[in-house]
A and B are shown apart, each in its own frame.
Chain A
Amino acid sequence: MTAENQPWTHRFRPSCQAEVVGNERALSQLRTWIRSWEKGIPKERAAFLHGPPGVGKTSCVVAIANDMDIDLLEVNASDFRTKKRLEGLVGRASLQTVTITGKRRMILFDELEGVSGQQDRGGITSIRDIIKETMIPIVLIATSPGEKWQDKFRPLVDVSTLIEFSPVPFGAMVRRLRECATELGISVDEEVLEYLADRSQGDLRSTLNDLEAISRGKETITIKDVEGLGMRDRKDYTPDALNKMFSAKSLREARRVISSTHIDYDTLFDWIYENLPVVLESPRDLARGMEALSRADIHQTRAQRTQAYRLLKYMFNEMTGGVALSRLYSTGTGLLSQVREKTATLGFPPGAFTVTETKAGIEVKPVKYLGNEWRRVNNGLREVGAQWVRGGNAWLIPYFRPPQLVWRYRRTYQSRRRRDEVAAKVAERCHVSSKEAVAEVIPLVKVMVGGDAVMADEITGWLDLDDKQSKWLKS
């Protein structure tokens, strides 16, 4: 395959460290750790790279390996399934420090987040065993959307040095996109690049995919070309399946959703939970539906704790049939009334917007040109899941919206990071745990620094906070 017909994400993958975008600190931490192997085996024989998707975790490893001329053995999630296969692949390699040709070696376990459930747990333990014995550096990579990700990988986290990756900064991303476009001889409006960069929340890979998708066969790209671009979500059929599930009249019918979507049942669970209050707008139905989800969660936990997977069917019954058959009073117009209420709070006279149900979702159309008010209205409507349809001159609120959790984690990434840093300082200074600092101390400290400027300076100084941390505390 020539470079020309490779996907852009491959084509523009950095081949050396100088080409890596963003995450300079993580890159240098990783480099230092790999270098430390030159002086003998370090205390932590594995480096655990974690962070949001598409920010360059794998790229960093590949770039360093290229620069240092290290032979990289990559192992992917599908190889973790059985201990035997894993050991066959890397067990021996991890004990030999150089290749036949004398190159240094390194092992990369990528996509650890794909290791799920009980069947792979043996895989995690085997990786840990390999780390304990290894004579060469082992790099682990996992995308970490939730806060509890560390628990899942506890055995590995305990024996690794942790290296955190952050979303790629907006400016760096725009610069990189422009470089790629220039290299390909495509002219792209600055507006397009900024739109793509802004929408991606720091995920450079998805942005490159987007840019590639809209530039097929074109030499100039304007904001008009962005219209056709959907949300980055490959589970387009999920809303359809959900629709059938929520209107099912029998358990069997409702359960069909499990096999008719290609997403795993944890993700499906999140979809159902996200959309349940919209479908079951009657409080009694909602309480019953939530009760079913609560029971589903408990059945699943039991199945996993006892490894009696036959118990999973009770989870499936609750999360599908249990939810669908909770509907006694609801008419399913929850979303419509929610959108109407939201539209009414935007500070416009009645009749300023038309709200109509369409096949794709609920459409909100301004009657008059909004001008400067557009941004404010957009922000307000986004809270109910609206997307502006370019060209259509209206917002569309899809009937079913994807789970908001991952998005929320990403959006709050920086502030949660500051929070954790401040919590660590408060914990140390006030002799409490970080958990207690977050729950009991910081809320009051926020009031202290918010109310009195002198006290604020004293406290931030005493806690030895940097500017970003102080700013977070004062926000």
Chain B
Amino acid sequence: MSSGMWAEKYRPKRLDEMWNQTEIISRLKSFVKDKNLPHLLFVGPAGTGKTTGILALARDLYGPAYQNYILELNASDERGINVIREKVKNFARTAAIASEVPFKILIMDEADSLTSAAQHALRRTMEIYTRTCRFVLIGNYSENIIEPIQSRCSVFRFGPLGEEDAKGWIKHIAENEKLNILPEGLEAIYEASTGDLRKATNLLQAAAATQRDEIDDVTIYSVLGRVSPGRVRELINLGLKGQFMEAREVLRGLLIDEGLAADDIIRLIYSEVLRLSIPERYKVRLSDTIGEIDYRLTQGARAEIQLSVLVAKLAIVGEEING
């Protein structure tokens, strides 16, 4: 079998192989031992083992044919709560056959992206099928999950991985793939991924595709320059220089050609602005402007217009910085 993407190749297959999150893992293991589990709610930042944790639990619980007993849905990809309900219904109405575990597991990723009305509908569905199906909801923020769902689930909070663990993970893959990664390279990957192991792994693999012998910080930055954040930096710099037309073309490229969502773009703009080498007080001012536009994105209907205002305002700040 070809190895494909390392993030999948090295994704821990069993709970025993999980990296860090020891507290959570030991509780998940006790569910496997009892062959029973409550509805679960996993919250925490990206790349901290939420999906990995539940997939590993399923494999430990059901054995190699675990995929027959789980259904993975991603709330942000499904066409409305009715479609979700239909899929859940079809999956959950039959009991798990040929298994000593009497229930199946439904994994709902990005559950926090569901509207509160949709969550209420989901809660009713959870109740109807509790006998034959356990729901595992995954999200970034528990604040976005309605209280009635939270109270029906055991909540597990996944924290971002610490520096030592994150670096250890990257080294572990680098060794297996026979890469020579220098400490500066390791540092740069950690810096850019801040405890998100999927991102760190993808970044390492992208770097390895361009340079195998000595991966240092330059390798990593050159990779970062070629992905979306690089285009976003270009957008910001053009904006600061007052080259609005060119900036707008870059923005349209991001929105239309690359298909990034407006909230992803503004998130990238925010983190890039914090990294700019401009006087600190301008960062505060830009942060305020970004905050205002971030809010307007939720209030208006035209994402490109709102992001363009931000670009136009960058020029004013750019003028002031250059005196």
Contact = CB atoms under 8 A, between A and B. Distances in A.
Interface stretch (B36-44, B92-100, B123-131, B298-306): B298-306
Given A404-B252, A444-B205, 6 more contacts: A158-B82, A286-B244, A416-B257, A423-B259, A433-B74, A436-B76
A277 B244 contact: yes
Interface string B46-86: 10000100010000000000000000101111011011000
Contacts of B316: 283-284, 287
Interface string A438-451: 11110111111111
A195 interface: no
Interface in A399-427: 404-405, 408-409, 412, 415-416, 419-420, 423, 427
- The list of the 5 closest CB pairs from A to B, nearest first, reads A462-B4, A451-B209, A443-B227, A283-B315, A447-B206
Interface in B244-274: 244-245, 248, 252, 256-261, 264
Nearest to A415: B257
B319 A283 contact: yes
A163 to B, nearest CB: 15
B302 A297 contact: yes
B244 A157 contact: no
Contacts of B191: none
A302 B260 CA distance: 25
Interface string A86-108: 00000000000000000000000
A301 B4 CA distance: 45
B8 interface: yes
B21 interface: no
A383 to B, nearest CB: 8
B67 to A, nearest CB: 12
A147 to B, nearest CB: 7
Contacts of B151: none
B8 A429 contact: yes
Given A158-B82, A158-B83, A444 B301 contact: no
A429 B259 contact: no
Contact of A416 (B210, B223, B256): B256
B114 interface: no
Interface stretch (A13-21, A23-31, A173-181, A453-461): A453-461
A452 interface: yes
A11 interface: no
A412 B249 CA distance: 14
Interface string A153-177: 0100110000000000000000000
Interface stretch (A57-65, A257-265, A288-296, A351-359): A288-296
Contacts of A434: 74, 76-77
Contact of B228 (A298, A432, A443, A452): A443
Given A297-B300, A452-B209, A430 B8 contact: yes
A438 B223 contact: no
A394 interface: no
A429 B5 contact: yes
A445 B5 contact: yes
B14 interface: no
Contacts of B261: 435, 439
A440 B199 contact: yes
A277 B296 contact: no
B80 A283 contact: no
B279 to A, nearest CB: 19
B225 to A, nearest CB: 10
Interface of A: 147, 150, 154, 157-158, 269, 273, 277-278, 283-284, 286-287, 289-291, 293-294, 297-298, 300-302, 304, 338, 404-405, 408-409, 412, 415-416, 419-420, 423, 427, 429-436, 438-441, 443-452, 455-459, 461-463
Contact of A277 (B75, B248, B256, B304): B248
A440 B4 CA distance: 17
B294 interface: no
A114 to B, nearest CB: 19
A447 to B, nearest CB: 4
B216 interface: no
B203 interface: yes
Interface string B226-238: 1110000000000
B3 A462 contact: yes
B208 interface: yes
25 contacts: A269-B302, A283-B244, A286-B312, A287-B309, A287-B313, A290-B305, A294-B305, A298-B296, A301-B301, A408-B252, A420-B259, A427-B74, A431-B51, A431-B72, A432-B74, A434-B74, A434-B76, A435-B77, A444-B202, A446-B227, A447-B210, A448-B5, A448-B206, A449-B209, A462-B2
B118 interface: no
Contact of A287 (B79, B206, B256, B315): B315
Interface in B113-135: none
Contact of A447 (B55, B75, B79, B227): B227
B7 interface: yes
Contacts of B258: 419, 438, 443
Nearest to B227: A443
Contacts of A436: 46, 76
B264 A435 contact: yes
B242 interface: yes
Nearest to B264: A439
A465 to B, nearest CB: 11
Contacts of B76: 433-436
Interface in B1-53: 2-5, 7-8, 46, 51
A86 to B, nearest CB: 23
A291 B292 CA distance: 12
A254 to B, nearest CB: 18
Contacts of B315: 283, 286-287
B223 A459 contact: no
Given A338-B245, A448-B209, A463-B4, A291 B55 contact: no
A458 B2 contact: yes
A158 to B, nearest CB: 5
Contacts of B187: none
A456 to B, nearest CB: 8
B61 to A, nearest CB: 18
B309 A427 contact: no
Nearest to A302: B299
A273 to B, nearest CB: 6
Interface in B171-206: 198-199, 202-203, 205-206
A147 B259 contact: yes
Contacts of B287: none
A147 B256 contact: yes
A277 B257 contact: no
B208 A283 contact: no
A412 B258 CA distance: 10
Contacts of B313: 287, 290-291
Given A444-B203, A451-B209, A154 B77 contact: no
Nearest to B244: A277
